[in-house]
Amino acid sequence: MSELAVVPDLKKLIRAVPDFPKPGILFYDITTLLKDKTGLKIVIDALADHYRNSAIDVVLGIEARGFIFGPALAYALGTGFVPVRKPKKLPAEIVSVEYQLEYGFDSLEIHKDAIEKGQRVLIVDDVLATGGTAAAVAKLVEKLGGRVAGLGFVLELLFLNGRAKLAGHDVYSLLQFEK
């Protein structure tokens, strides 16, 4: 089945929930896609097809929903998986990055030995929204001497223009939402 033929059906599997987690936010809920055996398979297969010839050395997933898609994609590509975690979760020596939220700052951490210099890293998350999180993770990869081979998302919220924060990187999303 071609990617184009399945995209409209996949979009229907994503549930948009208004006013979550706070008023005014339309939350794109992927749990309805995940529980669908065909939907889940199509998503992982389509992402794997997209990156199969990209010489990916390691797939990196962003906590928490990048931990759902990342390992499945790593398995399909035959690579290892590296988690990027919220603060104070990783037990060994870490490198961290701070990034700006709507109000205040947040940070993410990775094990210092998680990526080898020159490795081609694919960063994976469920949603590309403002791009702030993904841009911070790309910096983390580069801090460790890794090369960001791509940033892959199940869905992209086009109206937030997250790609602007990821300029210079290869960005791919399977599904795009206009509003």
Least gap, CB of 27 to ligand AMP (angstroms): 4
Cα 86 from chain centroid (whole Å): 15
Give 132: exposed, middle or buried? Use CB within 10 Å, 0-12, 13-18, 19+. middle
Which residues neighbour 172 within 8 Å (Cβ) at sequence distance 6 or greater? Answer: 50, 150, 151, 152, 153
Least gap, CB of 105 to ligand AMP (angstroms): 12
- The yes-or-no answer on residue 102 being catalytic is yes
Task: Give which of 82, 160, 92 is closest to 123, Cα–Cα.
Answer: 82
d(CA 133, CA 137): 6
Which residues neighbour 123 within 8 Å (Cβ) at sequence distance 6 or greater? Answer: 60, 62, 66, 134, 137, 138, 141, 148, 150, 151, 152
Q: Active-site residue among 65, 120, 142, 163? A: 65
Least gap, CB of 104 to ligand AMP (angstroms): 14
Q: Active-site residue among 15, 93, 102, 147? A: 102
Residue 133 within binding range of ligand AMP, rule CB under 6 A: yes
Residue 32 within binding range of ligand AMP, rule CB under 6 A: no
Question: Is residue 131 a contact partner of residue 162, using CB atoms and an 8 Å limit?
Answer: yes
Stretch that binds ligand AMP, among 40-48, 113-121, 132-140, 141-149 (CB under 6 A): 132-140
Residue 138 within binding range of ligand AMP, rule CB under 6 A: no
Residue 156 within binding range of ligand AMP, rule CB under 6 A: no
- The yes-or-no answer on residue 52 being catalytic is no
Residue 28 within binding range of ligand AMP, rule CB under 6 A: yes
Residue 131 within binding range of ligand AMP, rule CB under 6 A: yes
Closer to ligand AMP by Cβ: residue 125 or 144: 125
Residue numbers at the binding site for ligand AMP (CB under 6 A): 25-28, 62, 65, 125-134, 157, 162
